[in-house]
């Protein structure tokens, strides 16, 4: 089990993954440094989600390897936080109990983490909704519960697979700002998959652009915009320039594949 | 007027009214057409017989009820255990399902006389028949409820450190509860059929025996009074399941307050 606060550089070396002889990922190598927010962007079906599942150890690579803190990953890494495209909340649990679920899965009493969970609920702007069931929450609120759940045990690494993909555009943008705000408090290492360019620039320290299938890394952008990043950033020249660069890069990558 | 605005009260009022009209029509038409009592007794006559034979009704219903509830409980335990086996030993799933489907295609009523040969005229053969009729819906629903869990939810549980036992109790079983409750609503009347058929075939106690002896004496009103007993019993049984759902499964879409 990974211990929090220790350095967790994630390293992928020459990862390849095929499904029934269809090559999904080709020679993907990347390094994620501690407390970095790294975003993987690319066209739909480029294997972004597959890459996340490989890193988490949920599926094995066809060739290549993933190292977390220098140790090769061969089984699901216990203690990694995960956020999926859908909130994956249990309808029979309240928001609070859904957040405590990850502690219970570890075999600990959920009650021990109650205060921590309430803190996160506050941070995520869900105060007053902790006793609500998922069906009583909006889509954006459900996803915030899922993010709180991923943060509960201070995981050294959080994997987010298009967490805002199912939300409407307005909620989605707001959630981006919310997550940036939360991240500034927690500073957890995050690998975030998205196909929204502005989301990636807003949130990341580093952006990795992938090509269409088979997924390969085409370019890496360092983002050194100051944090906290607010709404005013959207019109900042550096933000606009970087967004344009990323967009051009993705378009090139997709065009060459077609 | 305010009371009728409550949907539950309104529903009960409507059903009661429908029954009252049905019985009133039966009573009036029966009196006008002078159908002989041994063919089709009037509701007033049935009510009178029911009240007069009440102690004997209770005596016989107790036997039938006991066999039904025992058979149902057995079906619940064995059905869920069988479903668990099928879920965790996926390799035998096909074989078990085929054998069970083959068994289910035998009309259980037709083998009832065999059970009397094997288990005698006592309560055992009735319980076994009730069990055999009730187990299939319990098993099929349990397989669905325990097995059809979102992949993301299982991934989340695994990566959070959940072992098979915790995933079973906190995810699979909780997910299956509404399916199992639903199956009981179907299995309960089926178990009752099993118990009554068992009593038809042999024995000297139970509603099935009462109906058979009343028929022998051409006491049609008593047959109807016995049917009334069974109806009250089934309604109460299904009512218990519905109450359970209302109290413990109130997160289900069908149980949510509107």
How many inter-chain contacts (A to B, CB under 8 Å) are there?
61
On whether the CB atoms of residues B159 and A106 are closer than 8 A, the answer is no
**Bridge partners, A41 (sequence order):** A194, A209
State how beta strands A37-41 and A189-194 pair: parallel
**Domain around A249:** 10-80+155-257
Average pLDDT of the segment spanning B141-160 = 93
The CATH number of the domain holding residue B67 is 1.10.3720.10
Say yes or no: A18 and A146 in one domain.
no
Nearest C-alpha of chain A: how many angstroms from B146?
14
Chain A residues whose CB is inside 8 A of the B150 CB are 86, 88
On whether the CB atoms of residues A130 and A26 are closer than 8 A, the answer is no
> B154: nearest CA in chain A?
A88
| pLDDT reported for residue A75 | 86
Q: What is the number of domains present in chain A? A: 2
Say yes or no: A186 and A67 in one domain.
yes
Quick one: tokens of A31? 């390094």
Say yes or no: A132 and A15 in one domain.
no
Give A19-50 pLDDT, tens digit per residue.
888 888 888 898 898 889 999 998 877 888 88
Average pLDDT of the segment spanning A160-169 = 88
In this prediction, residue B148 has a pLDDT band, given cuts at 50, 70 and 90, of very high
Nearest C-alpha of chain B: how many angstroms from A76?
6
Judged by average pLDDT, the poorest of A132-136, A212-216, B167-171 is A212-216
Quick one: tokens of B209? 């025996």
On whether the CB atoms of residues A157 and A9 are closer than 8 A, the answer is no
% helix / strand / coil in chain B, to the nearest 5?
Answer: 85, 0, 15
| pLDDT reported for residue B255 | 72
Task: Tell me if chain B has a CB within 8 Å of the CB of A109.
Answer: no
Residues A77-104 as b/e (b if ≥16 CB within 10 A, e otherwise) read bbbbbbbbbbbbbbbbbbbbbbbbbbbb
Give B196-230 pLDDT, tens digit per residue.
999 998 888 999 999 999 999 999 999 999 999 99
The answer as to whether A197 is a domain residue is yes
Say yes or no: B1 and B88 in one domain.
no
**Which has more pLDDT, B77 or A4?**
B77
The CATH number of the domain holding residue A238 is 3.40.50.300
Q: What is the number of domains present in chain B? A: 2
Say yes or no: A71 and A193 in one domain.
yes
Looking at chain B, the number of H-run helices and the number of E-run strands are 12, 0
On whether the CB atoms of residues B116 and B201 are closer than 8 A, the answer is yes
Average pLDDT of the segment spanning B106-124 = 86
Say yes or no: B20 and B72 in one domain.
no
Instruction: Report CB contact under 8 Å: B251, A133.
Output: yes
**Bridge partners, A67 (sequence order):** A11, A72
Say yes or no: A163 and A252 in one domain.
yes
Say yes or no: B30 and B157 in one domain.
no
| pLDDT reported for residue B52 | 94
The answer as to whether A2 is a domain residue is no
Say yes or no: A115 and A219 in one domain.
no
Task: Tell me if chain A has a CB within 8 Å of the CB of B166.
Answer: yes
Alpha-carbon separation of residue B102 from A231, B92, B140, B244 (angstroms): 65, 15, 14, 33
Say yes or no: B89 and B161 in one domain.
yes
Instruction: Report CB contact under 8 Å: A104, B170.
Output: yes
Nearest C-alpha of chain A: how many angstroms from B166?
6
On whether the CB atoms of residues A131 and A151 are closer than 8 A, the answer is no
Instruction: Report CB contact under 8 Å: A135, B251.
Output: yes
Nearest C-alpha of chain B: how many angstroms from A145?
14
Average pLDDT of the segment spanning A113-124 = 91
Give A100-118 pLDDT, tens digit per residue.
999 999 998 888 999 999 9
Say yes or no: A169 and A251 in one domain.
yes
Task: Tell me if chain B has a CB within 8 Å of the CB of A66.
Answer: no
Nearest C-alpha of chain B: how many angstroms from A70?
19
**Bridge partners, A46 (sequence order):** none
In this prediction, residue A256 has a pLDDT band, given cuts at 50, 70 and 90, of low
| pLDDT reported for residue A150 | 92
The answer as to whether A125 is a domain residue is yes
| pLDDT reported for residue B194 | 93
Rg value, chain B, Cα: 22
Chain B residues whose CB is inside 8 A of the A76 CB are 155, 158-159
Task: Tell me if chain A has a CB within 8 Å of the CB of B249.
Answer: yes
Q: How far apart are CA A144 and CA A163, in angstroms?
A: 9
**Domain around B6:** 1-34
Nearest C-alpha of chain B: how many angstroms from A159?
11
| pLDDT reported for residue A4 | 46
Quick one: tokens of B96? 């078990």
CA angle in degrees (0–180, nearest 5) for B77-B83-B86? 140
Chain B residues whose CB is inside 8 A of the A86 CB are 150, 152
Contacts 24+ apart (CB under 8 A), B3-10: B7/B258
| Terminal C-alpha separation, chain B | 20
| pLDDT reported for residue A257 | 54
CB-count burial class (<10 Å; 0-12, 13-18, 19+) for B152: middle
Say yes or no: B165 and B69 in one domain.
yes
> B169: nearest CA in chain A?
A105
In this prediction, residue A166 has a pLDDT band, given cuts at 50, 70 and 90, of confident
**Which has more pLDDT, B40 or B69?**
B69
Quick one: tokens of B16? 């009661």
Task: Tell me if chain A has a CB within 8 Å of the CB of B152.
Answer: yes
* % of chain A residues with pLDDT over 70: 95
| pLDDT reported for residue A5 | 43
Domain stop point among A133, A154, A175? A154
Give A65-77 pLDDT, tens digit per residue.
998 888 888 888 8
Quick one: tokens of B170? 């906190």
Give A202-252 pLDDT, tens digit per residue.
999 999 999 887 888 989 999 988 888 888 888 889 999 999 999 999 888
Which residue, among B158, B161, B252, would best test binding to A if mutated, counting the most A CBs under 10 Å from its CB? B161
């Amino acid at each position: 089990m990974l211990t929090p606060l220790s350095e967790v550089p994630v390293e992928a070396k020459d990862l390849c993954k095929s499904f029934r002889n269809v090559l999904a990922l080709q020679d993907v190598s990347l390094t994620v440094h501690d407390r970095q927010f790294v975003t993987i962007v690319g066209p739909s079906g480029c294997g972004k989600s597959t890459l996340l599942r490989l890193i988490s150890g949920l599926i094995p690579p066809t060739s290549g390897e993933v190292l977390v803190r220098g140790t090769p990953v061969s089984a699901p890494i216990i203690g990694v936080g995960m956020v999926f495209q859908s909130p994956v909340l249990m309808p029979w649990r309240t928001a609070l109990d859904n957040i405590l679920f990850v502690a219970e899965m570890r075999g600990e009493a959920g009650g021990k983490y109650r205060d921590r969970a309430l803190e996160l609920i506050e941070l995520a702007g869900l105060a007053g909704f902790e006793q609500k069931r998922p069906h009583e929450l909006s889509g954006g609120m459900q996803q915030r519960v899922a993010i709180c759940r991923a943060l509960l045990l201070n995981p050294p690494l959080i994997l987010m697979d298009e967490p805002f993909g199912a939300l409407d555009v307005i909620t989605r943008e707001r959630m981006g700002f919310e997550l940036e705000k939360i991240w500034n408090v927690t500073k957890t290492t995050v690998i975030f998959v998205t196909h929204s360019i502005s989301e990636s620039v807003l949130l990341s320290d580093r952006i990795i652009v992938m090509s269409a299938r088979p997924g390969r890394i085409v370019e890496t952008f360092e983002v050194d915009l100051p944090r906290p990043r607010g709404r005013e950033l959207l019109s900042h020249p550096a933000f606009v320039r970087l967004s344009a660069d990323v967009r051009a890069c993705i378009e090139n990558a997709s065009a060459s594949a077609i | 007027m305010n009371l009728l605005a409550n949907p539950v009260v309104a529903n009960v009022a409507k059903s009661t009214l429908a029954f009252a009209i049905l019985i009133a029509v039966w009573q009036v038409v029966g009196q006008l057409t002078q159908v002989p009592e041994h063919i089709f007794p009037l509701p007033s006559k049935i009510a009178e017989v029911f009240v007069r034979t009440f102690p004997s009704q209770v005596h016989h219903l107790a036997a039938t009820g006991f066999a039904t509830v025992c058979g149902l409980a057995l079906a619940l335990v064995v059905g869920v255990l069988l479903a668990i086996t099928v879920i965790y030993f996926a390799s035998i799933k096909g074989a078990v399902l085929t054998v069970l489907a083959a068994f289910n295609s035998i009309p259980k009523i037709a083998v009832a006389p065999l059970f009397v040969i094997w288990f005698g005229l006592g309560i055992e053969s009735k319980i076994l028949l009730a069990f055999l009729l009730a187990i299939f819906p319990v098993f099929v629903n349990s397989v669905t409820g325990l097995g059809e869990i979102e992949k993301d939810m299982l991934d989340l549980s695994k990566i959070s450190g959940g072992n098979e036992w915790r995933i079973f109790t906190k995810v699979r079983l909780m997910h299956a509860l509404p399916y199992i409750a639903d199956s009981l609503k179907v299995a309960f009347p089926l178990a009752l059929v099993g118990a009554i058929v068992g009593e038809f075939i042999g024995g000297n106690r139970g509603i099935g025996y009462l109906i058979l002896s009343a028929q022998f004496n051409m006491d049609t009103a008593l047959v109807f009074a016995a049917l009334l007993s069974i109806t009250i019993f089934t309604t109460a049984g299904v009512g218990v399941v519905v109450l359970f759902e209302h109290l413990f499964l109130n997160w289900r879409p069908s149980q949510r307050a509107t």
